[in-house]
Structure 1
């Protein structure tokens, strides 16, 4: 069964087999698909559920990430409740299958353009506060390279050095990449990480915060952070990179409200600017390799453009510089 052959009926069957006592499970409608997952709303004797199939994740990585999702729920963070999961469901060709609670609401990407300005700012504040709450969940060390959730080091620069080595190896197998730019970026990343390692502390991080992964309630208020498939133990400043890339361009008021919400729940990270430079560089250098390898030419060109700007500015090119007065370490 290829990704294109995955059917809603197969997912419903898998959920019936995984979750005993549901009775017949009926497909209601599909949800927005991600690059690595497909989900459907399902009707059961326990009410509506979400059946989600992970397309690319198998083995220890998927199981540890799902277990971490459950731990996040137990700490009261605003995320969907995880009801059941299996590493391999025969109904969906051996892929991981997850059952989550279904909560009605609106995709933020679709809903935000229609909201009043003050309502949109409140969504940003509450999203920032939810992210800060996630970052308060205790972890002992930065995560390993495979799952991101097994403790490997208490030193952020050691983690970055390992990532740089892995990226250098990966780039050898990728054709048509801007070699000098990549090498300059990797060297910059190593030096910047060593500079901030003393203040960077590990935290549970979402790593995919942008509008499609934010659920609003039916009145347009923040409800949940969605899609926790990228959870890792990293420097929490990593979680500010994608909002800057995909939510805040030309919207400095949104960025400021997001920062206000974060600070209402947790202290702002010390040496913010320097740590953000590291986080941005790691995202871009990882992304150029990934988007080139999977042949997504539009995303590759976007990341290459951003990487040129990051390298050329010495790591200072990011939207958060517009709100520096609101983001000083307490």
Structure 2
């Protein structure tokens, strides 16, 4: 990668999106924006492939939650890949996993890592079909590669497929992960500690919306893994459109109301922290809206002409731009500090307009 300048951590995404395409051969398989998944055309459809890594010190470790680390790393790595493949419009066909740990720990930890990944895959009937393990003197590293099949290219829900006039839907409630982290770190653990723990360790995938839209006309899609504003802005920028979101329509996890007083913010601000629920943002044509709603979608806004970006409706009926707040590797000391800062910043922005 001769000539590539090392990016600042908060600019890593932008650096990747701008640099990588110029370094790779233009063979017809690449699309602008470096989607969460790679799409390889094969016949009338194509194969979808997605690779994810899991932080060696995820939020539950920083929060001191008593959990089986290898099992949870496997569960979260598998969940991340499943979510990406589902959100592309494909049903996952299989997962390949990778795990690095100190050599003396591999015999004990690798089976637990695989069992955790298998538990995440079981509800969807997705097999683990391969992978690799390696001893490491540094830290643990968990990775997962998921792949699936889209029967026709129009069914691939790429982030660059948003068009003016489409409706914006979410697959489920937001803010639960962020609220749970705040309750765990700054509160007493919440009125229902089991619910707080589940919001951090057991994200609930809801693939029905993406799979329905993929089979009935297509649209754009992205899984909300870094935060609503951050991920929605990626759809807006790569599609060259504006995404107008009605904050009052956002589906919020019940924990957001419990956690809000701890930070002095509105519950809606928790939707704009980091991701963690792996919900999907999907756009659909107006004529496909009823079917998408029946498939579990929740209407939260519409796609309009640019300037490209994410906007929220204001009290006066206009719209105002929202900064692409979201998770950034290496910027904060830890997840709790990052989430608190992002939620407070979102509250200040939102409450001044909505």
What TM-score range do you get, normalising by the shorter chain?
0.3 to 0.5
The alignment's TM-score, normalised by the length of structure 2, stands at 0.36
More helix by share: 1
The alignment's TM-score, normalised by the length of structure 1, stands at 0.38
RCO greater where, 1 or 2, for CA within 8 Å and sep 6 or more? 2
